[in-house]
A and B are shown apart, each in its own frame.
Chain A
């Protein structure tokens, strides 16, 4: 590959925001037909670098060369015309519109009369969807699609132009394993057509499956580029965080106490039915299953966001009815929700106010919110979770994706709940912090919390859980203890073929 010329070269890119030097002279080059992984901690500057590349930000210094010619791209459309396509970390589709409209948004084909040419549009979109093996048509409403399918729409959008470089910013953060396989097939197809791929992810095993080379950023500067075949996870981690990972701490089981939360015969329409389980103080129970297995819906019921059609919920042996999140919080239940952007954060608010929001009523001095108490809480969770933000005043919307997730986790830990439910807690979180959060979950359990972890990542479930509950299509299929559970029996249980346990 060394004699080939890079299709894309970024040289000395500097990008600052008020109070932050997000990129500090970064070099980055991509060869034709390679998959180039971009790695780094949360806030290292990966998304910013790619937004500079895609014309969304203008660099303060440095230049971009495409096919050895310097180019200036003032907006995403010019970038697209130069063959650069970015698929965002946070999906950006018009929910009320159809798939076809979204794919050609802004450049819909016209008839002679200037109207949208629906026939041509649907034909072209239809053929792209077929190429991607999508099971939905151009007329489907985007709002009704799952996250994975929305992502397919974003990819379809990328394929309308002749792409030289396609950037995927954490594409698999919300995909199931099966969907991931489809995505990798698409990436390999693109690659064999000579398209270059930039691939951002925090998941090592993916990086090593899919990529040819790996470039690491740290604190906005370039740390080096490694050839995937010649390196190891540990070497990449070292480069990223300056140390190796510590998996050893606090993994042993703590003292298991009485039953804190007990759910008996809980059903909610067609979402899930006849669900019974118990969580003891000091225990982490993992819920594993495919997307749509009903895990999130159970969490939402426990948090007062959905009314169950039947069944009982008991806290410390007493039946409770939880009619709203406010009730849930009053009962000592916390939920770290699945989607940080929609459910977890008020993006326009600052970091501190987001963290203290659920308990702001209790943080008063006289009638006013106590500034000092709030900052103390913010500082505590910033240190504990290693949140990287310029200050507590920074708008959460300006933080990197992973740091936003840490704010959500901090917000709910700060409530010191009896029952902590976390739904996909480490989505978009870097390897170092992920280990830290796993340790934290263990520690919390240790100190007497009852913890429920919902995750689609098998290694995560296996690492943190004392017990694992496998769900399939709204039913509990099996319950495992930490000693019994392994990858094979878990996969079997969630696909509906395991020996169904009468719940």
Chain B
């Protein structure tokens, strides 16, 4: 007991909770909603929440890496529209396999444009990806001629393309499996490989990274390729699930994705954060939305609550670092 008190005094326990605030908040949420609604903690409900979060989650994986390296990617939403429209449109024309291939190549090229301008030309990532957001939206409309696209209804139930959005393995929905598989893969890369270390270094101090022999431009470029790759995967899942697409399906996703990343605790300043945190951020966001609906709040209540949760998460984070709630400097 004495040891415990001693440790409390030294701030160990306090900082332990504060440092893992996001996990604590997650558990608190689950308990609160579980008490508020008896449907909330059922397997079916949990599965449906995770499934509907999977797409945001997959995109958030890539964006997390971009953010760790000290940049932003606001183009993921319209890139998702582009990828989904393209893969659905090409499905009937050239078959599912080639459609996926062509779409992935095009999306990766868009990512390469981002990466080139931000990594090699060294333009500001906010400006470049904000511009790409509208440019890709335009590209999508040109491609589709403004019309919504569909997979031919007669083949929808027979094409193997349906497996990505509607398939199951061992009773678990495919989008969930893809999300967790990709999250583990990216998570391991970023946490344990030399590449991951370079990403953190570039985000933490770009000059020192260059002085350490890291090719900053290549690292930054690569993060946008990873981000685009994740968007491509999300496009396949979305297209497969809906078997059709509107021109603007991804609109607004960029903010939800960024919100999940921040909620998880990855700093926009770069150099810190993790995939695990992002996964939890994604789930919290999903569960808040779902829980509020189950508790009978109108769907727009979630926008307000989401904002409050993000503020609290970020606040807790800085408060833990400086050991007090408000800034000590007047």
Give chain A's interface residues, CB within 8 Å of chain B: 16, 18-19, 56, 74-78, 303, 305, 324-326, 328-329, 335, 337, 342-349, 353, 357-358, 360-361, 363-364, 367-369, 411
Contact = CB atoms under 8 A, between A and B. Distances in A.
A335 B211 contact: yes
A369 B208 contact: no
B207 interface: yes
B211 A344 contact: yes
Given A358-B212, A368-B193, A369-B194, A348 B272 contact: yes
Interface string B188-220: 100011100110110011011111111100000
Given A328-B213, A357-B214, A368-B193, 14 more contacts: A16-B11, A18-B11, A303-B211, A342-B205, A342-B208, A344-B208, A346-B200, A346-B271, A348-B271, A349-B271, A360-B194, A363-B194, A364-B194, A368-B192
A58 to B, nearest CB: 8
Interface in B244-286: 271-272
Contact of A360 (B198, B210, B271): B198
A345 B212 CA distance: 9
Contacts, number: 85
Contacts of A303: 211
29 contacts: A18-B10, A18-B11, A75-B328, A303-B211, A324-B215, A325-B210, A329-B213, A342-B208, A343-B208, A345-B205, A345-B208, A346-B200, A347-B204, A348-B204, A348-B271, A357-B201, A357-B209, A357-B212, A357-B214, A358-B213, A360-B197, A361-B194, A363-B194, A364-B194, A367-B192, A367-B193, A368-B193, A369-B194, A411-B212
A151 to B, nearest CB: 21
Contacts of B272: 348
B5 interface: no
B329 interface: yes
A58 B198 CA distance: 36
Interface centre among A78, A335, A357, A361 (most CB of B within 10 A): A357
Contacts of A325: 210-213
B329 A75 contact: yes
B161 to A, nearest CB: 31
Nearest to A368: B192
Interface of B: 10-12, 15, 188, 192-194, 197-198, 200-201, 204-205, 207-215, 271-272, 328-330
A384 to B, nearest CB: 20
Contacts of A361: 194
Interface centre among A16, A78, A346, A349 (most CB of B within 10 A): A346
Contacts of B271: 346, 348-349
Contact of A16 (B10, B192, B214, B328): B10
Give 10 nearest A-B pairs by CB, closest first: A346-B204, A329-B213, A368-B192, A326-B213, A346-B205, A360-B194, A357-B212, A358-B212, A325-B213, A343-B211
Given A343-B207, A345-B205, A369-B197, A326 B215 contact: yes
B193 A369 contact: yes
A346 B198 contact: no
A348 B330 CA distance: 25
Contacts of B188: 368
B197 to A, nearest CB: 5
B18 to A, nearest CB: 11
B204 A349 contact: yes
A342 B12 CA distance: 30
Contacts of A75: 328-330
A358 B330 CA distance: 40
Contact of A349 (B10, B12, B200, B329): B200
A448 to B, nearest CB: 22
A76 B330 CA distance: 9
Contact of B211 (A337, A349, A368): A337
Contacts of A344: 208, 211
Contacts of A345: 205, 208
A78 to B, nearest CB: 8
A78 B201 CA distance: 37
A358 B213 CA distance: 6
A325 B207 CA distance: 11
Nearest to A365: B192
B210 A342 contact: no
B211 A326 contact: no
A185 B114 CA distance: 54
Contacts of A18: 10-12, 15
Given A75-B330, A329-B213, A346 B194 contact: no
A356 B34 CA distance: 46
Contacts of A347: 204-205
B329 A77 contact: yes
B197 A353 contact: yes
